Amino acid sequence: MEAMRIQLDGKAKYTGNVKIEFQIRGQEARLVSVDVIPNTKSDEIARDLYKQLSLMAGGDVKLKQSSDRITLEKANKNAPPFSIRIAYQSIIGVSFLIDQD
């Protein structure tokens, strides 16, 4: 993909976890995991996901976070395509949307 976004909404009602698989073409898929406690807001979860994804992305993918939204895009036109998907999600009260941006 050229650009994608992760949009979160809501507030965690219970303890939970989300795992997102991040893969750059030609590399192994890597798993990002974030644990949450009750009453964690979506913007706090997005901040933690952003931090983890930033470490994984390196220089090929540019990330931005604004409140409860994370935007990922290729750093330049020569960078390889990437993909993200929700591998596991057990956070009751928070919705996740992954879409092209």
User: What local confidence, expressed as pLDDT, does residue 88 receive?
Assistant: 96
**What pLDDT, in 10s, does the model give residues 27-59?**
999 999 999 999 999 999 999 999 999 998 888
Could you identify the residue written with the tokens 């960078």?
79
Domain CATH for 36: 2.60.40
Per the structure, the complete domain to which residue 60 belongs is given by 3-100
Rounded to 5 degrees, φ, ψ at 51 are -60, -45
Are residues 5 and 72 in contact, defined by beta-carbon separation less than 8 angstroms? yes
Residue 67 has pLDDT above 80, yes or no: yes
Are residues 98 and 18 in contact, defined by beta-carbon separation less than 8 angstroms? no
Summary mean pLDDT of the chain: 94
Q: Say how far apart CA 75 and CA 92 lie, in whole Å.
A: 34
Q: How far is CA 94 from CA 7, 9, 19, 44, 80, in A?
A: 10, 5, 14, 11, 31
Residue 1 has pLDDT above 80, yes or no: no
**Number of domains present in the structure of the chain:** 1
